[in-house]
Structure 1
Amino acid sequence: MEQSFSYQGTVLHEWVDYNGHMNDAEYNKAFSQATDAFIDHIGLDERTREVYDYTIYTLETHICYLQEMHEGSAFTVKGQIFDVDAKRIHLFLMMENEQGEAVATLEEMLMGIDRKEGRGAAFPNEVADKLTEMAERDAQIDRPKQAGRTIGIRRK
């Protein structure tokens, strides 16, 4: 089963560093652009954010770099919702190269924010319904092995 969200991009010239491959900060940029597209996809596009005076903030992220990407390389970012509640989304994004190989992953926690109050608030009903539908579909997909990882030096 395919994830219910995907985003496509290309590694730009200015994203390549002195090592000849995509710089780590640019993976963040690509994932940020994919997250913005995800937010639009769930029904919180620019117009809707204005209507509800509502937005989404990123609370936490974790990136794994798995393979190098080079200038001009096309990629697809696929999203999988791991969990959702009234105002939070636990989202996993996987970047794949043109061969469908995983090149990087990003796990993140997002929170819906009432801009008038400046704090967390429940998603608008239409958004909540879309998220529930997507989460139920995505629950049928296996979790990638990179999900839930922590940073640390493994000692033997």
Structure 2
Amino acid sequence: MEPADSNKCFASGELTVPTEWTDYNGHMNVGYYVVAFDKASDAVLDHLGIGESYRRTEEASVFVLEAHVTYDREVLPGDRLRFTTQVLDHDSKRMHLFHRMYHAGEGYLAATNELMIMHMDLETRRPAPFPAASLARIADLQELHDMLPRPGAAGHAIGIRRR
């Protein structure tokens, strides 16, 4: 279930699971979780002023450096999904995001996606500082999100636990 103060998270969209996103198990295929989370990222980036229109006008964008997905409960074709995003950290060139995917009708946590994003100058294909206005928006959002508990799934490494 959602943290009690998840209303402070950025509401990063909703979507309905298309039938073509399902696999032979009858639920959403793992690859499409990443597609769905990418749409949530786009909503956050647009809010911060560094989305698709920024890319077209400024020859700059963001690249994902690292991603981690957890699959907590399955979702089925036709299920409505809701996404929230929490800024965990940032610096002048990077942003650490944590997305949560909820079943919109039943409210359960379906999956999470943790991302490390780098701002890039597309002319040089090298890292570059965020524009000042976007950096200020990121800082404001993180300040609000710093009041939230850190997600338990954030920063986990994958591996088989041995006793």
Same fold (TM over 0.5): yes
Asked if residue 18 in structure 1 is aligned to residue 24 in structure 2, the reply is: yes
Between the aligned residues of both structures, percent identity stands at 38
Which amino acid in structure 2 is aligned with residue 103 of structure 1? A
CA offsets 1:38-70 (integer angstroms, 9 cap, x no match): 211111233322332210000000000000000
The answer (yes or no) to whether the contact 2:90–2:139 under 8 Å persists in 1 is: yes
Counterpart position of 1:62: 68
1:83-117 per-position Cα deviation (integer Å, ceiling 9, x unaligned): 00001000000001122211100001000001112
CA contact (8 A) 1:113 1:119 kept: yes
- Under a length normalisation based on structure 2, what TM-score does the superposition of the two structures give? 0.91
The aligned runs of 1:7-46 (5 Å cut-off) are: 7-46=13-52
Q: Distance in 2 between matches of 1:142 and 1:46?
A: 30
Query: How much does 1:31 deviate?
Result: 0.8
Work out the CA distance in 1 between the residues paired with 2:143 and 2:11: 13
- Report the RMSD for the aligned CA atoms in angstroms: 1.1
TM-score by length of 1: 0.95
Confirm or deny: 8 A CA contact 2:63 2:120 kept in the other structure.
Answer: yes
Q: Hey, what does 1:131 align to over in structure 2?
A: 138
1:55 is paired with a residue of what secondary structure? strand
The gaps in structure 2 that reach 5 residues or longer are: none
User: Structure 2 CA distance, aligned partners of 1:110 and 1:49?
Assistant: 15
Using the alignment, how far apart are the partners of 2:47 and 2:84 within structure 1?
12
Question: Contact 1:8/1:74 (CA < 8 Å) preserved in 2?
Answer: yes
